[in-house]
Amino acid sequence: MGSVLNKDTVEVRFHGRGGQGAVTAAHILVDSAMRAGLWGTAFPFFGAERRGAPVTAYARISHSKVLTKSMVRRPDAVAVLDPAIMRYVNVFDGLKESGVAVINCTEPPTLPIKIRLYVVDATKIALDLGLVLAGWPLVNVAMVGALSRVIGIKLNYVLEAITNILTGRSAELNAKAAERAYYEVSEVGAS
């Protein structure tokens, strides 16, 4: 793990549902990157979003200041907050051949393509910690933890970012969730 950041710029796409916190996840990832001495930008899909509908959010992490304002079309990494959307959305669209996917799931899905696949049960982590809002397990920050491990951002920066962006009990629980996901994420097929 941690090899993706060997590149000059890493482009990330988060897939979730409106209200699941994909935009916040992208923000926390970039804040973690800043604390690790890197640059970055995080941005939503530029358009209307509705609660429950499939949404995307994006991040660029770089060793130098990010100059482009273009959308991410060929991501190096995708993170899937809700695996159910994979039935309607091709979450691997444009993913580079060297790219990685981190999916929140209990059982690794069978994929139509060959990629480096990582899984973490972020939903279980959220439920264990009581991170539930309006009936939804909150998995977004846990997924940042898992993704950071995969792309090579150290846990302490992620935890600092979480405490900076979230507050109170939410920060505390989400930091725990991110830490668990950071250690529990595993590569499918890796020995």
Give the interface with other proteins as residue ranges (CB under 8 A): 26-27, 30-31, 34, 39-44, 46, 65-71, 164-165
Question: Three-state SS for 115?
Answer: coil
Least separation in angstroms between residue 154's CB and other proteins is 17
Tokens of 128: 């264990």
Question: Whats the size of the chain, residue-wise?
Answer: 191
Q: Tell the smallest beta-carbon distance from residue 27 to other proteins (Å).
A: 5
Identity of the residue, 26 or 159, whose beta carbon is nearer to other proteins in the bound complex = 26
Nearer to other proteins, 42 or 125 (CB): 42
CB nearer other proteins, residue 38 or residue 85: 38
Cα distance between residue 184 and residue 177, in whole Å: 10
* Pairing between β-strand 116-120 and β-strand 186-187 as defined by DSSP bridges: antiparallel
Which residue's structure tokens are 């273009």? 70
**39 vs 136 by CB, closer to other proteins:** 39
Shortest Å distance, C-beta 85 to other proteins: 22
CB burial of 80-117 (b: ≥16 within 10 Å; e: otherwise) equals bbbbebbeeeebbeebeeebbbbbbbeeeeeeeeebbb
* Minimum gap (Å) between residue 62 Cβ and other proteins: 11
